Amino acid sequence: MRFPSRFPYTSLLLLGTALIAGIVLYTGSASTSYSAEAAPSAAIPADQAEGEAIYRQHCLSCHAADGMGSGNYPAVASDHVKKKLGTYDKAYEFISRNMPDNAPGTLTDEEYKAVTRYILSLNGVPTGFNDIEKHWAQKEIAVLFDKQYIDGYVNKETGTMQFKPDQFITRAEFVRYLVKAKELFLSNNTESEFTDIGKNKEERIYIITAVEYGLVNGYPDQTFRPNNTITRAEIAAILSRSEMLKASAQPTFHDIASDYWAGDAIRAVQEAGLFNGYEDGTFRPDQRMTRAEAISVIYRLVSQPQA
């Protein structure tokens, strides 16, 4: 088995790319109150200010004041760093998990994240979505992204990242996000009966994993159709399998016939509080789901109290 999908990059890789070890703390106690000397500069966005303040107070002793590195500590902003640790999950994993023996962890998880965002910002790597402000699913999207369950679309030319919340979600995207959110162990198998899932390693392994766990099925023609959009009924069916849900109530939606193929699954996910219907008493099973709608369902799933 592979490492849990929440941390898709192994510690061996990260230890082998020990480029920003100076980011981690020197031995000593942390403080969540930052002094005037550690005040952030006005040159960086407000959402990076906290990270800069933490970095200045706890990490700057390992670096020259100009940020170009000091002694055994490399520069925090360099082509080498950007190439090797140029994504949020890689940088966060390294900073928070792979600390030198002489620098025990003393910051909170949120402080580690703030420093991660600051370091990535120095290297021109986006650390948040620029298109979810005031969106109805902003909270859900932000929480799942913070947990590294979901991803977005990076514009390399502008250095920004979008989530595209109102774009319809594909089968491959939903499967990848669900497998990550459930923190399933990824399959070691690379072979699949599906003829259309391509050679994209990430997409392929998440689909294979979901199939092995019994979460999804393909089509009779041996295709998975990863780029097809996914409907409310299809997601209900996947979640009912995932959580082994069973319906106990009688049909409650006007547009779900008693013999509808996903009828039991739809009632089961509604009873579990994962899905809602509409005010007119319909479920609209064949309606495609947007990325925001799908993420809100996954958010409800991972936010439920554990039995």
- pLDDT for res 149: 94
Residue 250: predicted pLDDT: 73
Predicted model pTM? 0.73
Least Cα distance to 107 among 58, 49, 36 occurs for: 58
Q: What is the pLDDT of residue 70?
A: 53
Q: Say if CB 54 and CB 34 are below 8 A apart.
A: yes
State how far the Cα of 41 lies from the Cα of 60, in Å rounded to an integer: 14
| pLDDT per residue as tens, the chain (307 positions) | 333 333 332 222 222 223 333 333 222 333 333 333 333 444 555 557 788 888 777 766 555 444 555 555 556 666 666 666 666 666 666 665 554 444 545 677 788 778 877 877 777 777 889 999 999 999 999 999 988 899 999 887 777 889 999 999 999 999 999 999 999 999 998 888 898 997 766 789 999 999 999 999 999 999 999 999 999 999 999 999 999 999 887 767 999 998 899 999 999 999 999 998 999 999 999 999 999 999 999 999 999 876 5
Task: Identify the pLDDT of residue 37.
Answer: 38
CB contact at 8 A, 253 and 241: no
**Half-sphere exposure in the Cβ direction for 117 (13 Å, CA):** 22
Whole-number pLDDT of residue 200:
66
pLDDT at 159: 75
Give the 3-state secondary structure of residue 177.
Answer: helix
SS3 content of the chain, % helix, strand, coil (to 5): 40, 5, 55
